[in-house]
Structure 1
Amino acid sequence: MSEAEIVTIRCLQDNYAYLLHANGRTALFDAPEAAPILAALAERGWTLDQILLTHHHDDHIQAVPELVAATGAKVTGARADAHRLPPLDVAVAPGETTDAAGLSASVIDVSGHTVGHIAFHLPDARAAFTGDSLMAIGCGRIFEGDAAMMWNSLQRLDALPAETLICSGHDYCAGNSAFALSVDPENEDLLERMRTTAAGPRPCAPATLAEERLTNPFLRADVLGPSLGTDDPAHAFATLRAMKDRF
């Protein structure tokens, strides 16, 4: 097995896509925009073999037809969401494993932002591709699920090893950091992360799960709950998510 290389690609205004290269093969996680993805492949001399999709929103799938036409890549996505994804060559369900550039990828249910949203955890790459579920210093807005569903999804991701790199779908770092600071103002780890990323050139995503646990208010619901008037982390999470929606 070759060492896995992960390349973060900025697409559209604030989307991220990720190339994973290992074993002489290349997989793409989410497909927001073809041009920067094709440019990143050409720059490295890589051929795209697979596209793995986390959920059905256009800003994560709209480049699939162009990329498939250009590369012949095979498409993997959630079986339950197949009716609103591009045509799938490989349909997967939570609890199953699939292949990504020759590495084993566990499929995790992270419903909440959408129902049927999945994440891919690749232990050998020490990475999880989480789309719009767990994000840098935040989590996705809840459109189709509910707060309990999203909380359970975040708990599944929080159970991964601390060194796991959380590769999420957007750069919402400025807004997420501002909200986090508003509810967790004395968090020195958060303040240091904000100082480090503001100085550049390192973006705040991706980051390890260990770093998210220290700085992400939605993973700190148990710590922040008493200040919100509750000792129930799930209730604290729901309160935090509602506060972020109004922030």
Structure 2
Amino acid sequence: MTYLDDLFSLTGRTAVVTGGSSGIGRGIATALARAGAAVVLVARGRDALDTTASELRAAGCRCEAVVGDLSTRSGVRAAAEAATEPFGEPDVVVSSAGVNLRPPMAEIGEDVWDTTMAVNLEAPFWLGQRFGPAMAARGHGRLIHVSSQQAHRAFVTSGAYGVSKGGLESLARSQAEAWSAHGVTANTLVPGFVLTPLNERLQEDPGRVAALADRTLVGRNSVPDDLAGAAVFLASPASGYVTGQSIHVDGGFSVH
């Protein structure tokens, strides 16, 4: 197992996962923690954070939780500083927190646009600005963003959400350009349609859910655990030569 440990173990590393109390973020946080990382969960709701953190600790993982509002710059700054308190500066930052506000294009107002961009795009940018240079100075780091199929194609009312995710993938490339020569990789995970609370509105239409499953090559929609292996890979030493990439973990959705 030494060879695999050298490639994939996160023992001794610290990870911050936004949106880590539910959905994809929770799945990724669980995977990183079980791979050995000390994990700090960041999300808005204290109850869900405490539940997730308690479950990870019960499984023998090191985990702490930080309540943070990523919809404002001051909130991002406060959450970032609080996230360093339990275990120190992070080696891995996963931006999974997101909002899914998708009214018809003609009905998008300033509030929907501003909130979507603030949480889905600006927060990952400011977290990168806070942690990326320090990672580069230490010679190691991993920035991982959770994107969406809407970054690449328009369906089910992509709206401002799709725009924010397209920007997020561009952000990863810019971060990769800035810091990869100093040991810091930046990549995005692109899931398919994942059955999470964020997609509850779409799941109210069984026909649409079935149609999305039919667009995959494996014949089903995704669950958060499907992202675990790819997340550990991108956080681990094994991905040191992978940067600026959008990695589709979507059951073949994007090629069907």
Bucket of the pairwise TM-score, normalised by the shorter protein: 0.3 to 0.5
Choose between structure 1 and 2: higher strand proportion. Answer: 1
Q: Please identify which structure carries the higher helix content.
A: 2
TM-score, L = length of structure 1: 0.40
TM-score normalised over the length of structure 2: 0.39
Higher relative contact order (CA 8 A, sep 6+): 2
